[in-house]
């Protein structure tokens, strides 16, 4: 009887369930061990919920900031036209109930998809046994959780194991979340009322996204940043635009201010900074990064090398240092993006099952910060150019010059393109605009396929459209290169 390849996947997020679909399609016997629900944090507590909340905030921002300029008149006898107060409000409890409903629906869709593909889904926590069997297989011990808790452990033999366990919110020791006034980014969806004064600790992607969203929903927001600017890991020009927008809309952005503690005082929260200053608000959201879910899984005992941060070391085809063990997603610390996790998971299965595989190419990854305006990036960055890691020319074109942007009342944003001086090959790009996540794709195609600025410049764009700025910035780069060559 022919041996069927057995795959056990620990973790049902994008890295896990996408890998499961690939492995099942290639004829493997696949089991996914998951303790929270398929989709993982990305679907249940992070990406899908936060972007659903942000979608509501985006509608409110667009209405508040544009309706007068666009000539829209609000007929409301209760509204004093001389009163600067906003004319729309939000029922946060209703918003959050919709957020959680959509997240669960997405998770159920994923369960149905993998089940149809023949994948077995187990509710439990997986742990690797220390040694391989003589035939090279691994053993995963599954401890039941939730509604199946109390049952006995089950041992699963596996020819290959994929660890895709994600991460959880990092905490400040003296700012422990209580789920009511001091919150992490998994707990905000339980709020029934909009925070009157929200203090957001952390100005990375998660902190900036939530700060902008709650400001748009009607909270008075204070953003506490330990660095010189918001979004310290993003393009500096893009971060400067966003910080200017935040301040203009009334947000209190506190740079070079590190939070030391947060405590409840009655119905308020006091956040103490390391320099001794104290900020008071009604709620505090702590968004200071994530910790990989790699503890108590027997990984190091099984020969899996961990970094000092607790992340799993992997190579470009998702192998760990232990034979037959792969890893994907946030637990690897490569890029905390669902798209990257999914790609890592697919690559792992293609590699183990003997299919043609292309190693992970991080320079082709496009990413987006879902603030307003959005910040989308792909390829090499301004930091790469400034440091000399990439020799490239760049041109930045403000959206103010774009006719469609003028029509829509868009004032903030730009398109920036990087290309090689000699060949004109596009190696990176930045778009700061409403729906930049939709506009970055042509630049991603260019980077991934080594297209030149001239090729983009000579491609038709719709007039008027925001993509016209992509064509225009490419023409400026191409003209510069042609002039230099001449």
Over 60: is that where the pLDDT of 86 sits? no
Q: How are beta strands 160-163 and 6-10 bridged, if at all?
A: parallel
CB distance 17 to 39 below 8 Å: yes
Over 90: is that where the pLDDT of 219 sits? yes
Q: Residues 21-45: pLDDT tens digits?
A: 999 999 999 999 999 899 988 888 8
pLDDT band, residue 272 (cuts 50/70/90): very high
DSSP labels for 246-284? HHHTT-EEE-S--EEEEEEETTEEEEEETTS-EEEESEE
Spell 418-433 as b/e; 16+ CB within 10 A means b: bbbeeebbbbbbbbbb
Q: What is the C-alpha to C-alpha distance for residues 87 and 261, in angstroms, rounded to an integer?
A: 36
Q: What value does the mean pLDDT take over residues 183-189? A: 94
**What's the gap between Cα 424 and its chain centre?**
30
pLDDT at residue number 267 = 93
Six-digit token pair at 463?
A: 């007039």
CB distance 274 to 260 below 8 Å: yes
Q: What value does the mean pLDDT take over residues 459-464? A: 96
pLDDT at residue number 81 = 54
Six-digit token pair at 464?
A: 């008027």
Q: What is the C-alpha to C-alpha distance for residues 461 and 173, in angstroms, rounded to an integer?
A: 52
pLDDT at residue number 136 = 85
**Percent of the chain with pLDDT strictly greater than 70:** 94
Q: Residues 422-452: pLDDT tens digits?
A: 899 999 999 999 999 999 999 999 999 999 9
Helices (H), 218-353: 236-248, 338-352
CB distance 451 to 425 below 8 Å: yes
pLDDT at residue number 304 = 97
Q: Residues 326-354: pLDDT tens digits?
A: 999 999 999 999 999 999 999 999 999 99
More confident residue, 401 or 149: 401
C-alpha distance across the termini of the chain, in Å: 70
pLDDT band, residue 145 (cuts 50/70/90): confident
DSSP labels for 71-84? T-----TT--TT--
Q: What is the C-alpha to C-alpha distance for residues 8 and 159, in angstroms, rounded to an integer?
A: 8
Q: What is the pTM of this model?
A: 0.92
Which residues on adjacent β-strands are paired with residue 7? 30, 160
């Amino acid at each position: 009887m022919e041996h069927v390849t057995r795959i056990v996947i620990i973790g049902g997020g994008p890295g896990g369930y996408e890998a499961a679909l690939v492995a099942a399609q290639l004829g493997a016997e696949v089991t996914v061990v998951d303790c929270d629900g398929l989709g993982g944090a990305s679907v249940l507590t992070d990406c899908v919920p936060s972007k659903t909340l942000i979608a509501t905030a985006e509608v409110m921002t667009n209405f508040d900031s544009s309706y007068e300029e666009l000539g829209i008149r609000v007929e409301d006898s209760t509204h004093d036209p001389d009163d600067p107060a906003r004319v729309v409000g939000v029922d946060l409890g209703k918003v959050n109930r919709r957020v959680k409903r959509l997240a669960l629906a997405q998770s159920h869709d994923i369960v149905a998809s993998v089940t149809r593909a023949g994948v077995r889904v187990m509710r439990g926590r997986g742990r690797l046994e220390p040694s391989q069997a003589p035939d090279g297989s691994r053993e995963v011990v599954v401890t039941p959780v939730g509604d199946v808790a109390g049952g006995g452990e089950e041992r699963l033999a596996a020819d290959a194991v994929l660890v895709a366990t994600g991460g959880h919110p990092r905490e400040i020791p003296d700012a422990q979340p209580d789920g009511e006034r001091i919150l992490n980014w998994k707990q905000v969806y339980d709020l029934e009322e909009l925070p009157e004064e929200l203090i957001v600790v952390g100005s990375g992607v998660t902190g900036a996204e939530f700060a902008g969203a709650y400001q748009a929903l009607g909270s008075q927001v204070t953003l506490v940043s330990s660095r010189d600017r918001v979004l310290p890991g993003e393009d500096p020009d893009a971060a400067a635009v966003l910080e200017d927008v935040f301040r203009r809309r009334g947000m209190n952005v506190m740079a070079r201010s590190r939070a030391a503690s947060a405590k409840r005082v009655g119905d308020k929260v006091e956040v103490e900074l390391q320099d001794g200053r104290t900020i008071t608000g009604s709620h505090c959201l702590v968004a200071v990064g994530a910790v990989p879910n790699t503890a108590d899984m027997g990984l190091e005992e099984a020969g899996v090398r961990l970094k000092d941060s607790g992340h799993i070391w992997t190579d470009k085809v998702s192998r760990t240092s232990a034979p037959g063990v792969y890893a994907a997603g946030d637990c690897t610390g490569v890029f905390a993006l669902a798209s990257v996790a999914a790609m890592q998971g697919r690559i792992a299965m293609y590699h183990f099952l003997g299919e043609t595989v292309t190693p992970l190419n991080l320079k082709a990854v496009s990413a987006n910060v879902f603030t307003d305006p959005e910040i989308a990036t792909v390829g090499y960055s301004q930091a790469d150019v400034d440091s000399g890691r990439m020799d490239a020319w760049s041109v930045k074109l403000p959206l103010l010059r774009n006719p469609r942007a003028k029509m829509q009342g868009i004032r903030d944003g730009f398109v920036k393109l990087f290309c090689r001086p000699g060949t004109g090959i596009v190696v990176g790009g930045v778009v700061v605009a409403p729906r930049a996540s939709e506009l970055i794709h042509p630049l991603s195609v260019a980077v991934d396929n080594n297209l030149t600025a001239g090729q983009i410049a000579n491609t038709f764009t719709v007039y008027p459209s925001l993509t016209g700025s992509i064509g225009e910035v490419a023409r400026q780069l191409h003209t510069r290169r042609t002039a230099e060559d001449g």
